[in-house]
């Protein structure tokens, strides 16, 4: 790590490791289906066993988002969700669950338009943990790295199965909190199996210097969460959770569905090290 700033995500991952399990990190887009209802959904997810939150910022050109997350982002933008909504949503989530890190996952352009320093300042002021930047590489992230250091935020960069050893070293050195290991090449979405390359990528990323490595893209069941949690510090689930909110069922039933799946995933990570 490049600084001695305390990492919310790192502290959470240390705590779950001490408890003998991986962490469960749940992704919900900011305006799914509105910012206020997203708060309800995320608090329900936290109450059902999620350890941390990825709060997605909807964007018009979502390069790594699969169809489920794309639909959620399009609906959120059409309903008027904007980047400025991040602050009040994060504040509400931290008031509900102060110990749960809330990371914003955003493409770089919305943050650039908001202002890198201003976004970091406002996110930190709301209690946010940091930012996951899927389309920003460390080589081009000097402004963000500086702002993260100024405001004590985690900065999570991505590693892919195609990443070279040198790229992994650069990514591990620049990241704080954890490195996001993409289990497969491609976009987000539920899959029948998690890519076999994920375990090797986690090992290679740790060997490159990463303190914590969390795996995302494809996890959708408790069994998959247990498999990934056996070797990763954290298991990141997005599309499967978002999908529970995209049905025609009454909102309270959708929340029940979200909590049921979250509890299944939490049970998976809870037994992950026992199964290993």
Specify the 3-state DSSP secondary structure of 102.
Answer: strand
- In this structure, the chain runs to a length of 276
Instruction: Examine the residue annotation and report whether 257 is marked as an active-site residue of this protein.
Output: no
d(Cα 79, Cα 124) in Å, to the nearest integer?
26
Whether 65 is catalytic is: yes
Q: Point out the catalytic residue in the list 54, 85, 122, 199.
A: 54
Measured CA to CA in angstroms, residue 201 lies from 25, 116, 206, 207, 272 at distances of 19, 30, 9, 10, 18
Q: Which of 14, 40, 51, 65 is catalytic?
A: 65
Question: How are beta strands 234-237 and 213-216 bridged, if at all?
Answer: parallel
Please, what's the b/e burial string for 2-18 (b: 16 or more CB within 10 A of its CB; e: otherwise)?
Answer: eeebebbbbebbeebee
In a 13 Å sphere around the CA of 124, the CA atoms on its Cβ side amount to 18
Q: How far apart are CA 268 and CA 105, in angstroms?
A: 24
Positive/negative CA dihedral, 220, 223, 224, 225: positive
Which residues form the catalytic set?
Answer: 54, 65
């Amino acid at each position: 790590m490049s600084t001695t700033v305390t990492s919310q995500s790192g502290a959470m991952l240390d705590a779950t490791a001490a408890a003998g399990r991986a962490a469960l990190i749940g992704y919900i887009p900011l305006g799914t289906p509105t910012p206020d209802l997203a708060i309800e959904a995320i608090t329900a997810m936290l109450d059902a066993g999620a350890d941390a939150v990825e709060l997605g910022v909807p964007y018009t050109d979502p390069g790594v988002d699969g169809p489920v997350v794309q639909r959620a982002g399009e609906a959120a933008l059409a309903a008027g969700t904007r980047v400025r909504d991040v602050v009040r949503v994060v504040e509400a989530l931290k008031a509900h669950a102060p110990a749960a890190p809330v990371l914003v996952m955003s493409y770089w352009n919305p943050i650039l338009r908001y202002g890198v320093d201003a976004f970091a300042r406002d996110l930190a002021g709301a209690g946010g943990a940091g930012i996951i930047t899927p389309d920003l590489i460390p080589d081009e992230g000097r402004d963000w790295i500086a702002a993260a250091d100024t405001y004590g935020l985690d900065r999570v960069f991505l590693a892919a199965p195609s990443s070279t050893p040198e790229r992994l070293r650069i990514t591990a050195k620049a990241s704080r909190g954890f490195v996001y290991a993409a289990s497969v090449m491609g976009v987000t979405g539920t899959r029948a199996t998690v890519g076999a390359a994920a375990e090797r990528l986690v090992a290679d990323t740790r060997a490159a210097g990463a303190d914590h490595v969390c795996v995302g893209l494809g996890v959708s069941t408790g069994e998959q969460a247990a498999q990934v949690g056996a070797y990763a510090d954290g298991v990141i689930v997005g599309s499967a959770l978002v999908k529970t909110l995209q049905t025609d069922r009454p909102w309270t039933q959708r929340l029940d569905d979200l909590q049921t799946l979250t509890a299944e995933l939490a049970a998976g990570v809870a037994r992950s090290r026992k199964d290993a």
